[in-house]
Structure 1
């Protein structure tokens, strides 16, 4: 009985492999019907890169769309290093440099420890990686449509 079950299972797996190879003949190396937000393309096909997003210069402070929204970055951040060893954002936005650079100071909350609320002499490690919350505002069309509406108080 065991031999019959094993033989039937082997035959079933063999047939499944034949069906898969027949599909591969019709669609070799295909995506299997999967389509991304950028459209359908074969894995082997290389398409042209999307054009670089445009970051309007000197657009000033960008209005918030919801309460407690981290401020958006109104300039490009290309080639800005924000790592464990360096933070290019602080070169302009720290309390020490903001006035000379004509930049917005980072919030005093960035100098407080999150658990104890103690005021620190430097930016809190939990607030050091600016790009976790703050993003540049590019002049780009959305990948997907939405019907988001601002909170009435922010209009």
Structure 2
């Protein structure tokens, strides 16, 4: 039974990869690299940091990340925000929460579950919402 489940899972993954590649997606490109056409959304190089809207909200990114590579072997974000470089780059340091693994153990390197930055952090833009947003910040947060 275990072997059958493994076989089905592998087949589904392979089929998914074929469909994904068949849609003109470059599987060698990091999923964190944005596919926005140049000039369609304004992303100034430097913006002021935005206030948070709720407790533990991941901060938005105040600069473009076009062309950034984030893979299991390299993380472009850590070149500026990592503990070894943030003092010289002036970028905010990666939060201490990013060094705790799922078992609560603290490491000297970023935890694998916090390594792919753009799963939580989004680029700040002046794009209009796709759908109406009625979200209201928690008391004491936001503007």
Shorter-chain TM-score above 0.5: yes
Aligned to 1:141: 128
Larger radius of gyration: 1
Aligned to 2:113: 126
Structure 2: state its 5+ residue gaps.
1-36
Matches within 5 A, 1:67-146: 67-115=55-103, 117-146=104-133
Q: How many residues align?
A: 106
Secondary structure at 1:87's aligned position in 2? coil
Q: Show structure 1 runs of 4+ deviating over 4 A.
A: none
Q: Distance in 2 between matches of 1:57 and 1:86?
A: 22
Query: What is the Cα deviation at residue 50 of structure 1?
Result: 9.4
Aligned to 2:6: none
TM-score under structure 2 normalisation? 0.69
Structure 1: state its 5+ residue gaps.
1-48
TM-score under structure 1 normalisation? 0.64
Q: 1:104 to 1:149 in 2, by over 3 A?
A: same
Aligned to 2:47: 59
